[in-house]
Amino acid sequence: MRAVVQRVDGASVVVAGETVGEISGEGLCVLVGVTHDDTPEKAAQLARKLWSVRVLKDEKSCSDVNAPLLVISQFTLYGDARKGRRPTWNAAAPGPVAEPLVDEVVHRLRELGARVETGRFGASMRVSLTNDGPFTVLLEV
């Protein structure tokens, strides 16, 4: 699993004109990509990492300050554009494999005590955020 993590001061995701997920104030906006060999165990590992990684102000984690997370599925994180001009998506897991694993990340974060908002899997989403720093990091498990 791969996640692009941005420290934000507010973020939201809109689908067909409706806000389906939104956080305000300090938190993380997390784009999650799933590949073919990912498992529920990797989803749990990613959730623990997201909850405890010290990327907020003063080297705090979401668990330290009870900061919210906006988690959005993004298969394009496994795009490969090394050859030619058109990316391939061969490394991205198909929807029936990926969706339950993204849901597992969210479920595990909530079990840890996190407040989690989400996008809508497979939908055309408009993501808005204020990147705080700017600060962006790539996590892989």
Cα–Cα distance for residue pair 74/28, rounded to 1 Å: 15
- Asked if 108 contacts 48 with a C-beta cutoff of 8 angstroms, the reply is yes
76 is catalytic: yes
136 is catalytic: no
User: Which member of 74, 88, 135, 136 is catalytic?
Assistant: 74
Cα–Cα distance for residue pair 8/69, rounded to 1 Å: 9
Cα–Cα distance for residue pair 136/30, rounded to 1 Å: 10
User: Which member of 75, 88, 135, 136 is catalytic?
Assistant: 75
- Asked if 115 contacts 69 with a C-beta cutoff of 8 angstroms, the reply is yes
Say which residue the tokens 């490394």 belong to.
91
DSSP string, 47-89: HHHHHH---BGGGB-HHHHT--EEEEE-GGGG-B-SSSSS-B-
35 is catalytic: no
User: Which member of 19, 76, 88, 130 is catalytic?
Assistant: 76
Active centre residues (catalytic)? 74-76
